[in-house]
Amino acid sequence: MKSQFVTIASHEFRTPLGTILSSASLIGRYSKTEEEDKRQKHVQRIKSAVTNLTEILNDFLSIGKLEEGRVQSIPVEVNLPEFCKGLIEEIKGLCKDDQQIHFQYNGKSDVWLDKQLLRNVLFNLLSNAIKYSEAGKSIFLRIAAGDKLVSIEIEDQGIGIPETDQAHIFDRFFRAHNAGNVQGTGLGLNIVQNYIDLMKGEVSFSSKVGQGTTFHINLPNYLPIQTKD
Ligand code: ADP
């Protein structure tokens, strides 16, 4: 795991660090007031590159914690539509030009879920939907929340996952052969699967190369049993 980290980190850190360096140098050169647009474009690039680096580090930390058995699901009451809107605001910065996340919500607003685990699951799946689809394509986040079950769907119109790779998609470090030079470590979906198991939920997907991918998640809307000390 550690030697894999060194290999992947050396490789995957290079691109975002290169982006940060070149954007910072360009910002330094745009000194005129009318160059504000260009400055903002490069500020945005720096922000995405830093988010990307943070993601890679977070993924490694999450895997480490999972291996040590230090992650558990602790459901709390959460206003799910508000929670998702906040997350979408945060993730918008990663979107390509004209890529939009459409959010549809049905059912109960207040549900019982572990916020940290859910946040990670949605962040990983939405950032994959963004990474593996082109500018201009839509992404859908659909949620239906009932008394017992929360169903989540994340759909993209991206490159899709080749059929021969589909069986391995949740394996640690696995990347499909059409991932090309899209940045990634192959850890995200392994973490998603582990977190969903901890939440006693289920995850599946359907995908067609060149058409897109949809991830389906079912999570129990779990009200913790009150115990006496
Ligand atoms: P990565 O860091 O490589 O994105 P993940 O574990 O999140 O790692 O995903 C594993 C692999 O599954 C990716 O490398 C990619 O080949 C494929 N994949 C995941 N999500 C999608 C998607 N929405 N569309 C197409 N391919 C995907």
Going from the Cα of 78 to the center of ligand 1, the distance in angstroms, rounded, reads 28
- Tell me if 225 is assigned to some domain: no
Give the per-residue pLDDT at 229: 59
DSSP code of 137? -
| CA-124 nearest atom, ligand 1 | 7
Burial class (CB in 10 A: 0-12, 13-18, 19+), 108: middle
Are 16 and 55 members of one domain? yes
Give the per-residue pLDDT at 227: 64
Q: What CATH code is carried by the domain that includes residue 14?
A: 1.10.287.130
| CA-177 nearest atom, ligand 1 | 16
Question: How is residue 144 written in tokens?
Answer: 């239906």
| CA-154 nearest atom, ligand 1 | 23
Going from the Cα of 165 to the center of ligand 1, the distance in angstroms, rounded, reads 10
Q: What CATH code is carried by the domain that includes residue 212?
A: 3.30.565.10
Q: How many Å apart are CA 140 and CA 64, to the nearest integer?
A: 31
61 vs 207: which has the higher pLDDT = 207
Give the per-residue pLDDT at 73: 95
Are 186 and 125 members of one domain? yes
Q: How many Å apart are CA 174 and CA 212, to the nearest integer?
A: 19
Give the per-residue pLDDT at 6: 83
Give the per-residue pLDDT at 228: 63
- Tell me if 161 is assigned to some domain: yes
Q: How many Å apart are CA 114 and CA 195, to the nearest integer?
A: 10
Query: Can you give the pTM of this predicted structure?
Result: 0.90
Residue 220: closest CA among 146, 141, 143: 146
Mutate to test the pocket of ligand 1, among 12, 51, 138, 169 (most ligand atoms within 8 A of CB): 169
Are 84 and 196 members of one domain? yes
The mean pLDDT of the chain is: 93
Judged against a pLDDT cut of 90, whether residue 188 lies above it is answered with: yes
Are 50 and 133 members of one domain? no
Q: Whose CA is nearest to atom 19 of ligand 1?
A: 128
Average confidence (pLDDT) over 23-44: 91
Question: How is residue 128 written in tokens?
Answer: 């994959």
Judged against a pLDDT cut of 80, whether residue 96 lies above it is answered with: yes
- Band of the pLDDT at 225, cuts 50, 70, 90? low
Judged against a pLDDT cut of 80, whether residue 223 lies above it is answered with: no
Are 99 and 197 members of one domain? yes
Are 55 and 100 members of one domain? no
- Which H or E run includes 126? helix 115-131
The answer to whether the beta carbons of residues 84 and 141 sit under 8 Å apart is yes
Judged against a pLDDT cut of 80, whether residue 55 lies above it is answered with: yes
Burial class (CB in 10 A: 0-12, 13-18, 19+), 66: middle
Are 59 and 81 members of one domain? no
Going from the Cα of 52 to the center of ligand 1, the distance in angstroms, rounded, reads 14
Give the per-residue pLDDT at 3: 83
Are 35 and 129 members of one domain? no
112 vs 34: which has the higher pLDDT = 112
Mutate to test the pocket of ligand 1, among 58, 66, 161, 191 (most ligand atoms within 8 A of CB): 161
Q: Which domain holds residue 173?
A: 76-220
Q: How many Å apart are CA 170 and CA 148, to the nearest integer?
A: 26
User: Which one of 67, 87, 103 terminates a domain?
Assistant: 67
- Residue 140 CA to its chain's centroid (Å): 13
- Tell me if 229 is assigned to some domain: no
Are 40 and 138 members of one domain? no
pLDDT, tens only, 113-167: 999 999 999 999 999 999 999 999 999 999 999 999 999 999 999 999 999 999 9
Ligand 1 surroundings by CB, under 6 angstroms: 124, 128-129, 132, 156, 158-161, 169, 174-176, 179, 184-190, 213
Are 192 and 131 members of one domain? yes
Count how many domains the chain has. 2
Question: How is residue 182 written in tokens?
Answer: 């899209």
- Tell me if 227 is assigned to some domain: no
Q: Torsion-angle region of residue 21: left (phi > 0), alpha (psi -120 to 50) or beta?
A: alpha
- Tell me if 195 is assigned to some domain: yes
Query: Which region among 72-81, 102-111, 180-189 has the lowest average model confidence (pLDDT)?
Result: 180-189
Highest mean pLDDT range out of 59-63, 161-165, 225-229?
161-165
Q: How many Å apart are CA 98 and CA 106, to the nearest integer?
A: 26
Q: Helix and strand tally (H, E) in the chain? A: 5, 7
Judged against a pLDDT cut of 80, whether residue 193 lies above it is answered with: yes
